[in-house]
Amino acid sequence: MHLDELKCHATDLVRLLPRQMLARLAKSTEVDRYAKELQGERLFNLLLYGLIRCKRLSQRKLEKVFESRAFCTLFDYSLGERVSHSSISERLSKVNVEFFRKAYEVFYDKLHSLYTPREIERKLLVRVDSTLVAETCNKLKKGFTVGKRPVGKDACRQRRQVKYTMGYEGFAAKLAEVLDEPAYLSEDVALPKAIDGMIKKDPEHSNLYVFDRGLSSLRAYDSMTGQHARFVGRIKTNRSMETVRVLEIPEADKCAPEKLVLDEDKVVHLREGGSRKFGTEEYRVITAHFKEPRDTTRPQNKGKAKRVENRICFITNDMELPAKEIAEIYRRRWDIEVFFRFLKQELSFSHFLSVNENGLQVILYMTLITAMLVMIYKRENKLGYSMAVFTLDLEMEDYAMGLASEMAAGNRGTPHGSQKGKHKRLEANGLTS
């Protein structure tokens, strides 16, 4: 696809940046108090532009981005200004996170309006999962360690990790948190915290939460059920349970997605690990097996390789959905793994741009805002994740060069005028205000 054939251009995304909204947020959060060089809006634009343009973004690269003609031209800043990487680091450590959190929420609400009611209905399926990012201990002061601690000469190589937990609905993260306390290493602690936060924002309890077998606590299941929140998950095949009743699976529904065959659908009581008593809450457990048997040979390195099984057990508190649909819903959980890979490979999320707690939060919100803009660009132009970022980068550079040429000619008019009025859908949704 040629750049001229794109349906959505970098110019459209630049117009989506609501400067008046950022100015209002800067005033209400007082983010610019004591700030001389990097005001909230400028830091916002610097991080957004840097995340799109730079692979393995760092504070030193941001320093060069700040001085670049393209950045200054694109966002209408004066050339010749300077900022050091140490100033960027200090600003990230002290800037008011509320400015970026509220900016993310406004972007999420506004950009969500691009989707039709039918598409929104599909996005009520929230995939919940966590991803880990590690850094050497001498840089990252907070966080948790996993495995044996190195000794002797290797002691300096010890790494700390931070967990990012998100609820992803196919377009963006509905909620995201930075967790650096050791207790959150367990998904039975981390995921319920995220889900509880999303349940509070969903008064109609319309979302359906999907997670993998890392979340297996009966207490967490009971908590979600008690709050009338529906979920679909996966449990171990040897989980202790007692059957209450068996449900019938229509013969036509037994062939499920992912080459699975549904075997059994039953209502059960579960038993919490370490307890002799079964719970009183009823859950559905749907058992399936793979059509083509997989190699289940026990891995030699048990610590790094997952055991392969031929059977799968899904769990849900929804008693109405067909068993085949439950299996399909769980299959779509994989979308969040693809989203994590996109963030890490394309938006510098595989390492820390800041290593203090405040900076981690700022970068998280800015990464998610950038991801939303890229997702719009990807969706409108029918591109893959990597190609969307690459093409957007090229267009932003061309856009900045066009602006610079017009400024040199003494005409500060809107570049790419031929594109004006071409994208009524974006403007009709109030995204340019």
Give the residue-averaged pLDDT of 7-24.
81
Kindly compute the dihedral angle of the four CA atoms of residues 31, 37, 42, 44, in this order, to the nearest 10 degrees.
-60
Q: Where are the alpha helices (DSSP H) in 68-200?
A: 69-74, 85-94, 97-112, 117-122, 187-200
Q: What pTM did the predictor assign?
A: 0.86
Q: How far apart are CA 184 and CA 169, in angstroms?
A: 22
> Predicted confidence band at 343 (pLDDT cuts at 50, 70, 90)?
very high
CA R_g for the chain = 24
Give the residue-averaged pLDDT of 11-33.
85
> Predicted confidence band at 148 (pLDDT cuts at 50, 70, 90)?
low
Q: What is the pLDDT of residue 153?
A: 58
- Among 260-274, 303-317, 413-427, where is mean pLDDT lowest? 413-427
> Predicted confidence band at 119 (pLDDT cuts at 50, 70, 90)?
low
- Among 70-74, 119-123, 188-192, where is mean pLDDT lowest? 119-123
When comparing pLDDT for 421 and 236, which is higher? 236
Q: What is the pLDDT of residue 154?
A: 57
Q: What is the pLDDT of residue 304?
A: 54
Q: What is the pLDDT of residue 262?
A: 94
pLDDT one-digit tens code per residue, 80-99:
888 999 999 999 999 999 99
Q: What is the pLDDT of residue 380?
A: 83
In Å, how far are 222, 300, 388 from 59, measured between CA atoms? 45, 42, 24
Cα of 328 vs its chain's centroid, Å: 21
DSSP secondary structure letters along 174-195? EEEEEE-SGGGGSHHHHHHHHH
**Closest by CA position to 107, among listed 376, 388, 347:** 376
Give the residue-averaged pLDDT of 220-240.
94
Q: Sign of dihedral through CA atoms 186, 188, 193, 199?
A: positive
Contact 111, 372 (CB under 8 A): yes
